[in-house]
Structure formats: structure tokens, C-alpha cells
Amino acid sequence: MFTIQSIGPPAADCPVFHVVGRSTRKGVTWLWARTDLDLATACAARVELDALLSAPEPPRFVLVYLGVECFVDVRGLRLLADATRRARSRGGDLVVVAPPHCLRRMTSRLGFTDHLSLASGAREAVQWTRVGRRV
């Protein structure tokens, strides 16, 4: 019998994002997506990003590593675009590092290239934070 284990919300003890680095409280925060950003995880991911971005001293830049193996649906795209808008409204940015093909395709097809910052790799993302814009 075939069953799909991944459908449903993530376990409470398994966050969607893992904080892998924080230079300073107001500097750069690196997040690693532990799972896909889709219908099953969008609500939990939004709670985590909202908590990070609404902290008393939120990071100026948030770098979110997805990688080619991550799947992002339209809910994940909306989540990332909303978080990017919040970060930009306070003078920072959220940069998606190593975006999967599905996300790159959606951003170009849906006209989201101005609403989401994509960096091909870690080096480009770090340079972005140093100059405060796309290099």
C-alpha cells in the first residue's frame, strides 16, 4: 500500500527554517529551509518569518537558503514576497539564496522579479548585503 507521509502540516518540534547564522542582532541572519515551501508548510513558515521580522531588533538582512531540491508553490512565493516587503519597509531585504528552478520560473512568469530578491549563491548574497542592493 502506498502512502504519502509528507502531506500535512510540519511537526511542531520541526520548524520550517533553521537559523544557521546571525552576525549581529541587527545584521545578517541566515536561514536554511528544512522543507518545501508549499500548502503544507506555508502557515508555519509565515509564523516563523513573522516572529523574526517583528522582533524588537529585527535583522536588517535575511538570507534564506532554499537550494535546487526545495519545492516552492504559489503559497511559498507569496510568503517570500510578503516577508521581503516587510524587510524592505524597514530598510533591509530578504534574499533567497540558490532558488530552485520552480521559484525562478514563477518569479519570471508572474512578474515578481521586482518583488523578490534572488541570489544564485552565497557569495552573491553576501555581496548584496554589503552594498544593500543587487550586485
DSSP 8-state class, residue 11: P
Q: What is the reported pTM?
A: 0.84
User: Are 70 and 38 spatial neighbours (Cβ–Cβ below 8 Å)?
Assistant: no
Per-residue pLDDT of the chain (135 residues; tens, 9 = 90+): 333 444 455 555 689 999 998 777 668 999 999 999 999 999 999 999 999 999 888 899 999 999 999 999 999 999 999 999 999 998 889 999 999 999 999 999 998 888 899 999 989 988 878 776 554
One CATH from 3.30.300.10, 3.40.50.620, 2.40.50.140, 3.30.750.24 for 17-131: 3.30.750.24
Q: Rounded CA gap, 45 and 52, in Å?
A: 11
